[in-house]
Amino acid sequence: MDENSLDVLTTNDKRHERIEDRHGLISLNTSEIEDLAFEWLGLKSIGYTLSFRNQTGKDTTCSSKYYISSSKRSREQFLNAARDHWSIENSLHWRLDVGMGEDNCRIRRENTVENFASVRHIALNLLKSTTSFKAGIKRKLHKANRCDIYRESVLNSLKK
């Protein structure tokens, strides 16, 4: 791919009663955004994705996302990297945000942000490994807050 061209790729996935069309654009020409390129040393490419998701019985949704990268990727690599990024977001960060209320935490003093993040990760791993109560992280967390016996079983899973 030459630096002045725009590389486009379209993919179509059909899974779990939904159809998703993704369009990815990547450009190696960063001169169009010189201000950003100046502030982002090593900027080599700019990307954009547009996704249309149609799920059975629901309205079609559309989402767009912009990316900047310090690597020169092919259109396939770019679209895969964009999709992989959101799978990480959905698997870990979503659980911390929704299940444990991480975004609502307003603790900002000294090292407490990092300390609480470590405690949340430990709690998340303990709750995920506990199989005595079949539920999501949020329900397991609420049960551990209310029930001494369940909380003890979660903490005892450390010993295994």
Q: Taking the domains of the chain in order of start, what are their residue ranges?
A: 6-87, 105-156
Residues of the chain with pLDDT > 70, as a percent, come to 89
Residues of the chain with pLDDT > 90, as a percent, come to 10
d(CA 68, CA 116): 30
Q: Residue 48 contacts by C-beta under 8 Å, 6 or more apart in sequence?
A: 24, 25, 26, 64, 65, 66, 67
**Tens digits of per-residue pLDDT, 101-130?**
787 888 888 888 888 888 888 888 888 888
